[in-house]
Chain A
Amino acid sequence: MQIKLWINGKMVTEDVAADTLLIDFLRAHGCLSVKRGCETSNCGLCTVFVEDKPVLSCSMLVARVNGKKVTTLEGLQEEAEDFGAFIADQGAEQCGFCNPGFIMNAIAMFRENPDPSDEEIKQYLAGNLCRCSGYEGQLRGIKAYLSFKKENGGVC
């Protein structure tokens, strides 16, 4: 079937099989930040935005995204670098494998709730699993980033 969608602002038209998953389509189009971590819709590593909402691309048919706008980490480089530096400063991650999904969902959180409490941060990011850390470094990194933004009058 023929579909048309926008990947990071670029229009793509293609023939796809009915059961092609969004993750595979995106990887075939060069978005290699989108990865499979679990195959059980639990780890959050494959997080992308569809119409600006974070979803699991491993569990969504690309056919369902026909006519829609998809954003991956490749399309959010500036925001991701900005925030990622705060995570790195805390030495939050060890292997870094979970990082793309985590950054995507954190950006979604900053947009939806620019001033989250610790509990709200934990709730929002509960679907992003990290097997190296205990999430403390990430929490510190997020709080440091939010404080920096607040002090500098920036909008997250």
Chain B
Amino acid sequence: MLHVQLDQSIGSFQLRQIEFSVVPGEVVGILGPNGSGKSSVLDHLTNWHEPDVGSVTYDGRDIRSMTSLERARTVAQLSQRRHEPFQQTVEQLCSIALYAAPRDVDRSERIEQTLQTFQLSSLRHRFLDELSGGERQRAYIAQLACRQTPYVLLDEPTTYLDEAYKQFVFRTVREWATLERKGVVLVLHDFNEAIAHCDRVVILSDGKQVGVGSPEDVLTPPFIRTHFGANVVTVKHPISGRNYVLPL
């Protein structure tokens, strides 16, 4: 289980009263208005920042007590904006992902399997900057999968993607949770995506955690009006019966 409890000051920005857990097999969404600190929280989950107060523990182990390699074998992250090295191919992306892989892993086999699973075999020698946005994201998701970590973090994985690719991302993430018992954390913007795909959500506002629980319980119109400044109504999905929100 991933357990997070922290307070942190980064420059003039403060994260306060962050506390939540992620259980293997669960998909947890982190939402909040722009600048609320979602990516900063994620940075703590990979020890890119260390909290002033509190801790991040994976299965009882404090992340600060792990070596870089141990940490990389525990949690993997897909970042929002990436600086792509010039002329990197899809296959090389997977290859470098195995930086932290233990010695006994058969790297070429794992790369083969990953490419096949994500239907990237025909694209393996293509350069990342030549791919479409959706194909590139598929490659990055494949890179994430390649590492086979028990916990994965995805920072706004569906921005700029078309509907088909969005569904691909959420389908993959749900498979990871259900079939592979991974603990998944998603940073999302869209309320309805969170309602549809997350088991629980954590809501941040101006660096402070203001809500945690199931999406339908937390993301109510009054709550959204208070913390997001947006007016919405609840609408029942005609088939699944779940409560979604629509702009007013």
**Chains A and B bind each other:** no
Which B residues form the contact surface with A (CB < 8 A)?
none
